[in-house]
Amino acid sequence: MDFTSARKSMVEYQLKARGIQAPNVLHAMEKIPRHLFVPEELQEYAYEDHPLSIGCGQTISQPYMVAIMTELLELKPSDKVLEVGTGSGYQTAILAELAQYVISIERIHELAEEAKKRLTNLGYTNIKIICGDGSKGYPPEKYYDAIIVTAGSPEVPESLKKQLNEGGRLVIPVGGANLQVLLKIIKQGNDYLIEKHTSCIFVPLIGSEGWRKIGEN
């Protein structure tokens, strides 16, 4: 299969055609070999317009969702980013192309280890993967210019808001187990500006500031 052409088509027909405009996002998604982030037997579907299973009951998000969330973060090359929900590490790689430093937290040890290996093999040196509960953020490295949560939360975790730099952006799906709304929260002084974006469906954020346990949602 010609993965390079598949990637170009994904950018043209799934991303640009649906309104993704940021050149840095489009460039990163055309560059990164998404098929290397999915199990071998699913590689031929890696550039299609839907999520795919990555094992442990988790998914790699649909390309459009990765693109819109990344665009909303408005990343600059000097930014420090926190990602909650490493999964396959694909979104992590996109962030690492656009920002200076990325810390990514994954609660499932096996996924965190696989993502770490994959990203090291691809040559990334500006990523730190942590295994743990990212619903409360990662205080040792606060504050962050941008925080992205790639799992659905019943509400916006207070700890994540508090770990934003002034002007920092938090992008997070919030709502029930079967449907969420993508929120963008911007820290402005003591206030937080909230923008509502598209509807979405994510696996649950499980943790002390998300869903308390599997099955609660």
- Residues labelled catalytic: 61
Q: Which range in 8-16, 70-78, 99-107, 121-129 contacts ligand SAM by CB under 6 A?
A: 99-107
For the stretch 189-195, contacts whose Cβ atoms lie closer than 8 Å and that sit 24 or more positions apart, written own/partner, are 192/161
Question: Which residues are within 8 A (CB) of 97 and not within 5 positions of it... i.e. 6 or more apart?
Answer: 24, 27, 28, 31, 32
Shortest reach from residue 191's CB to ligand SAM, in Å: 26
Closest alpha carbon to 88 in 137, 33, 133? 33
Q: Tell me the site size for ligand SAM, rule CB under 6 A.
A: 26
Largest CA distance in the chain: 52
Closest alpha carbon to 54 in 38, 33, 36? 38
Q: Which of 22, 84, 103, 127 binds ligand SAM (CB under 6 A)?
A: 84
**Does 119 contact ligand SAM by CB under 6 A?**
no
Closest CB to ligand SAM among 164 and 205? Answer: 205
> What are the start-end ranges of the E strands in 107-179?
127-131, 144-149, 164-175
DSSP labels, 25-56:
HHHHHHHS-GGGGS-GGGGGGTTSSS-EEEET
x/- track of binding to ligand SAM for residues 169-208 (CB under 6 A):
---------------------------------xx-xxx-
**Does 111 contact ligand SAM by CB under 6 A?**
yes
Q: Which of 15, 28, 73, 85 binds ligand SAM (CB under 6 A)?
A: 85
Shortest reach from residue 190's CB to ligand SAM, in Å: 27
State whether residue 217 is helix, strand or coil: coil
d(CA 214, CA 122): 33
Shortest reach from residue 209's CB to ligand SAM, in Å: 8
Which parts of this chain interact with ligand SAM (CB under 6 A)?
58-61, 84-85, 87-88, 90-91, 105-108, 111, 133-135, 150-151, 202-203, 205-207, 210
